[in-house]
Amino acid sequence: MKKTVLLFLSLFSVCVLMAQTKSPRFKVLALYENGGHHIEYSKVARVWLDKLAADSNFTIDYILNTDSIDDKYLAKYQLFIQLDYAPYGWKDKAVTAFQNYITEGKGGWIGFHHATLLGEFDGTQMWDWFHHFMGDIRYKNYIATFAKATVDIEDKQHPVMKGVSPKFTVEKEEWYTYDKDPRPNVHVLATVNESTYVPNSDVKMGGDHPVVWTNPNYKARNIYIFMGHSPILFQSKDYRTLFTNAIFWAAGK
C-alpha cells in the first residue's frame, strides 16, 4: 500500500511539473500607450489580457514604444496587438519590420482605436503604407464629448464574431470619422449605427460607418477594432468575446 501511494505521488508530481513547463501555444506582443487619456483603458486591458493569457496558455509581453522593434524582435511573436498606439512617431527600423511582418504574413495583427489616427500629427508625416493598410482612410474628426451607440454586426459568420450579439451597446466612445468610407478597400465586419448616438452628434460619416474590419489584401491575418477608449468596455461580454475571438483568429489558433 505504501509503495502504491508513493508511486501515485511521484506520478502526480511529474504531471504537475509537466503542466508547469508546458510550452505556450503562442506568443503575443502588445504595444500600448502609458500616458494621455487612454491610460485607464490600457491599465484594465493589461489586467484582462494577463488573465486570458494565463487561462489560455499563451504569453504576452508589453512595450511602451517602438525602440526595440526590428525583424529579429518581431520574429519571436505570432501576434502583434497595437493597443491604443498611434501609427506615427515609430522608429524607422520598426516601420520596416512591421511592414515586413504584415506583408509577409509572419504573424497576425489586431489594432485598436488610435491605430486609425492617420494624418499629420506632432510634426510627423502620415505613414502612407499604414494609410493603405487601414483602407486608404485619413482621420477627420471625433466626438470629443463621447456618445453611447449601438454596434451592428455585419458579417455574423466571421470567426471573430462567434458568440457576439448581432447588436450590442457601447456605453462610451469618442467615435472617429474619416475622410472617406474604408468599405471599398476592406472587408467590414461591424458598423456603428449613427442614429443611435446618445447624445446625438453632428460628427458622423453620413450613414455607413464601419468600426470593425479586416483587410484581405495583406498576407497577415489582421483586424481593426475601433472601440478602445474607455475601460468600461471590459464590462461588456460582447466586447470581451470580440477581443478574445480576435486574438485566437489573428494568431491562427
Domain-embedded: residue 106 = yes
pLDDT in tens, 13-36: 433 334 445 799 999 999 998 776
pLDDT at 15: 39
Domain-embedded: residue 11 = no
Domain-embedded: residue 120 = yes
Domain-embedded: residue 134 = yes
The CATH number of the domain holding residue 168 is: 3.40.50.880
Cell numbers given for 101: 511582418
Q: How many domains does the chain have?
A: 1
Domain-embedded: residue 222 = yes
Domain-embedded: residue 104 = yes
pLDDT in tens, 92-135: 999 999 999 999 999 999 999 999 999 999 899 999 999 999 99
Q: How far is CA 38 from CA 30, 93, 158, 204, 230, in A?
A: 15, 26, 29, 22, 7
pLDDT at 21: 54
Domain-embedded: residue 21 = no
What's the domain range around 39? 26-250
Cell numbers given for 194: 449613427
The kind and range of the H/E element at 63 are strand 59-63
Q: Is the dihedral of CA 186, 187, 189, 194 positive or negative?
A: positive
One DSSP character per residue, the chain reads: -HHHHHHHHHHHHHHHHHHHTPPPS-EEEEEE--SGGGHHHHHHHHHHHHHHHHHHT-EEEEESSSTT-SHHHHTT-SEEEEES--SSS--HHHHHHHHHHHHTTSSEEEEEGGGG--S--TT----HHHHHHTTS--EEEE-TT-EEEEEEES-TTSGGGTT--SEEEEEEE--EEESS-SGGGSEEEEEEEEEEEES--S---SS--EEEEE-TTSSS-EEEE---S-GGGGG-HHHHHHHHHHHHHHTT-
Domain-embedded: residue 17 = no
Overall pTM > 0.85: yes
Cell numbers given for 218: 495583406
Those residues of the chain that have pLDDT short of 50 are 2-20
